[in-house]
Amino acid sequence: MAELLDDDEIESQLPDEWERDGDEITKTYEFDDYLRGIEFVTKVGEVAEEEFHHPEIIVGYKTVEVRLTSHEEGGITEKDIRLADLFDDER
């Protein structure tokens, strides 16, 4: 089980354009059209399965909001930071 990160660790390790929201980290990606966003959702899902760490994904028109937390640990861990970086690599 991963260790929970403290406030300073979260702040210092949060990737660009990601925000902290309580026990979650979140980022909203914007796309030129709806189906590009859907393509990105598929890539995010594949990475999540590979890492066995799953985000909440909210699909809008030309936007995809991704929210990460470590449910078992009850907060934000290195796993969430790692997934955020991997999702950004898929962009």
**What is the set of active-site residues?**
49, 53-54, 71-72, 80
Angle at which helix 34-51 crosses helix 78-90, to 10 degrees, equals 140
* Interface with ligand H2B, residue 70, by CB under 6 A: yes
* Interface with ligand H2B, residue 71, by CB under 6 A: yes
Interface map 12-51 toward ligand H2B (x if CB under 6 A): ----------------------------------------
Tokens of 33: 């059209």
Residue ranges binding ligand H2B (CB under 6 A): 52-54, 69-72
